[in-house]
Structure 1
Amino acid sequence: MSQPEEQLTNNGNGEEQRPNGSNDEGDALGSHGASDRPRIAQMPVHRNALYYKMDHKRRGVAIIFNHEYFDIHNLKPRTGTNVDSNNLARVLKSLGFSVTVFENLTYRTLSAHVQEVAEMDHSDDDCLLIAVLTHGELGILYAKDTHYKAENLWYHFTADKCPTLAGKPKLFFIQACQGDKLDGGITLSNITETDGSSSTQYRIPVHADFLIAFSTVPGYYSWRNTTRGSWFMQALCDELRSFGTERDILTLLTLVSQRVALDFESNTPDLLPMHQQKQVPCITSMLTRILVFGKKN
């Protein structure tokens, strides 16, 4: 049986040419504090390189924060999450990552580990990957003892704070609800007869076909099978296992979205309002180059 994750309530040199007298302005209201001058970081690839450099000595660090049990708000155990964690750890190891799994951490401990990883020397690493498997709601994730903002996961890895990862891919995969809405889907039909007697059709979520990686769109449930694991992690591990060294990450994630959107549907016949519901992941990319893991010795 599939379960929802529980929740509570940017000339020839490539430079812009500006007309005389023109200036760039921000769209924010109010005054702005002066920022510190950015520090200098090692450039990992040529300015106009099409692909990220993925032939460093090491693939990089991968951290999985797996949460099954909670001490707050009567949050239910996330049965099936260990299947997700084990599958993801195996596939990331096969891609060359140095994988560490942490179980049921308090936020203080989780935050300390994030800070520790941010302070490491990643000069010889291709990239960074952090995955979180937990309960959540819009913009919020849960540790064992309290909630925290999802942005806290990547705050310490910006180029100014973690210069040895500057210009390198930093990947975050989050399996968690983003709300309590349900996606009943919509049917697409290819009618072949004028009277509608013959047609080909399938159901998709209403949020399909819009382009970190969240398991679901803001405001909606994220589903997890108690035996096979979450829909998103099942699809992600399958794609990485089959094509992780061949296809670029955005193609992979598009196919992950396709798998989740088309191959899965909630099975809760005893709870009809939640029966036959759909889901689609939400992928936000700020990557500036094409990322292909490639094979790692």
Structure 2
Amino acid sequence: NRSFSKASGPTQYIFHEEDMNFVDAPTISRVFDEKTMYRNFSSPRGMCLIINNEHFEQMPTRNGTKADKDNLTNLFRCMGYTVICKDNLTGRGMLLTIRDFAKHESHGDSAILVILSHGEENVIIGVDDIPISTHEIYDLLNAANAPRLANKPKIVFVQASRGERRDNGFPVLDSVDGVPAFLRRGWDNRDGPLFNFLGCVRPQVQQVWRKKPSQADILIAYATTAQYVSWRNSARGSWFIQAVCEVFSTHAKDMDVVELLTEVNKKVACGFQTSQGSNILKQMPEMTSRLLKKFYFWPEARNSAV
């Protein structure tokens, strides 16, 4: 029963465009700061590759993963990405597909990679039950192997277990209405101007060559922490992807990706649980960021352009 929620869920929910909160072009132009934010204006914003592994030779079928794929496809299309879906890839097939994606000639200002599969610690498992190192996968996206993506943000979502451990959670004394006041308030002045804290004009200087780490500009969002399972409902899909779609559709217009994923962490940690006998089981997502600036998706309505 690894990586699968026993609880029978409601009817499958699929994300649609009317669920998306958009931002207008003048707002993007007003808040954008080249020194602190990545550019993400291209139309399309970039390419999104979704690898969806459902049927394996020996391992259990990943029931509910089609809901994840459909929801993410609609979400990233609404956010302006060209979405490519590949189903049931072997270990080698995943590597070749990601390599070709990384070298594609049609990349925009950013790139998205989503992997929906079985996994263990530091590996993703192909439908032939062959494990592939996550480090090998991420290296395909670095500036050395994907020069067209150099200096551009690459966001990776990994919906897979990372081990066999199960999180039993711990008891907490909650606030009266279940959500502390400081979490309800959100962020102050979110719609206000973004200031340059240096307060000075960049001087004209001679350009010189410098080095930058080839591993920079990548963020990896994991469904769960190392060594732990992740959970999936057979109708609604995985907890993590459900939370991503809900949070991103609501807040991608004004939150950067780190803020968004922090909200996803909270939603999965506080809003989902399943049971194994008398045990209540929980899940904690995790992100690893190598970004050097803030990254905003800035989903625009189709009739709006920067």
What do the CA deviations read for 1:25-72 (whole angstroms, capped 9, x no partner)?
xxxxxxxxxxxxxxxxxxxxxx9710001112431110110011101x
8 Å Cα contact 2:257-2:295 kept in structure 1: yes
8 Å Cα contact 1:95-1:245 kept in structure 2: no
- Name which structure has the greater RCO, CA cutoff 8 Å, separation 6+: 2
CA apart distance, 1:166: 1.2
8 Å Cα contact 1:228-1:234 kept in structure 2: yes
Do residues 263 (structure 1) and 271 (structure 2) align? yes
Q: State the Cα RMSD in Å.
A: 2.1
Q: Which amino acid aligns with 1:223?
A: W
- How many Å separate the matches in 1 of 2:295 and 2:173? 35
**CA separation of 1:160 and 1:184: change in aligned 2, threshold 3 A:** same
- How many Å separate the matches in 2 of 1:112 and 1:89? 21
- How many Å separate the matches in 2 of 1:68 and 1:214? 18
* Structure 1 match to 2:171: 187
CA apart distance, 1:110: 2.0
- How many Å separate the matches in 1 of 2:261 and 2:65? 20
Q: Please, what TM-score do these two structures have when normalized by structure 2?
A: 0.71
CA apart distance, 1:294: 1.2
Q: Which runs of 4+ in 1 moved over 6 A?
A: none
CA apart distance, 1:163: 1.9
- Could you tell me the percent identity over the aligned residues? 31
8 Å Cα contact 1:215-1:282 kept in structure 2: yes
Q: Please, what TM-score do these two structures have when normalized by structure 1?
A: 0.73
- How many Å separate the matches in 1 of 2:148 and 2:119? 31
Structure 2 residue aligned with 1:134, among 117, 136, 145?
117
CA apart distance, 1:153: 2.1
What do the CA deviations read for 1:89-135 (whole angstroms, capped 9, x no partner)?
1000000010011111112222221111122235x611111001111
Structure 1 residue aligned with 2:223, among 206, 209, 215?
215
Do residues 163 (structure 1) and 147 (structure 2) align? yes
What do the CA deviations read for 1:229-277 (whole angstroms, capped 9, x no partner)?
1000000011111122221111100000000000000134xx34xx410
Which blocks of at least 5 consecutive residues in structure 1 are unaligned? Answer: 7-46, 191-198, 204-211
Secondary structure, counterpart of 2:281 in structure 1: coil
Structure 2 residue aligned with 1:243, among 251, 256, 264?
251
Do residues 54 (structure 1) and 40 (structure 2) align? yes
Secondary structure, counterpart of 1:292 in structure 2: coil
Q: Which structure is larger by alpha-carbon Rg, 1 or 2? A: 1
